[in-house]
Amino acid sequence: MGTSEFMLAGLVPGIAGAFDVSLAKAGYLTSAFAAGMVAGAPVMAALSRSWRRRTALLCFLAVFVAMHVVGGLTKSFGVLVATRLVAAVAYAGFLAVALTAAAALERAGRAL
The predicted-structure confidence for 12-56, as pLDDT tens digits, reads as follows 999 999 999 999 999 999 999 999 999 998 999 899 888 999 999
59 domain-assigned: yes
| Domain containing residue 69 | 9-111
CA distances from 12 to 60, 79, 104 (A): 26, 16, 39
Residue 79, pLDDT above cutoff 90: yes
- Whether residue 107 is predicted with pLDDT greater than 70 in this model: the reply is no
Q: Is residue 1 part of a domain?
A: no
Query: Structurally, how many domains does the chain consist of?
Result: 1
**pLDDT of the residue at 111:** 46
Please check whether residue 2 lies inside any domain of the structure. Answer: no
At 78 the pLDDT is 96
Q: Specify the pLDDT at position 110.
A: 61
- Identify whether 70 is part of a domain: yes
Residue 105 lies in a domain: yes
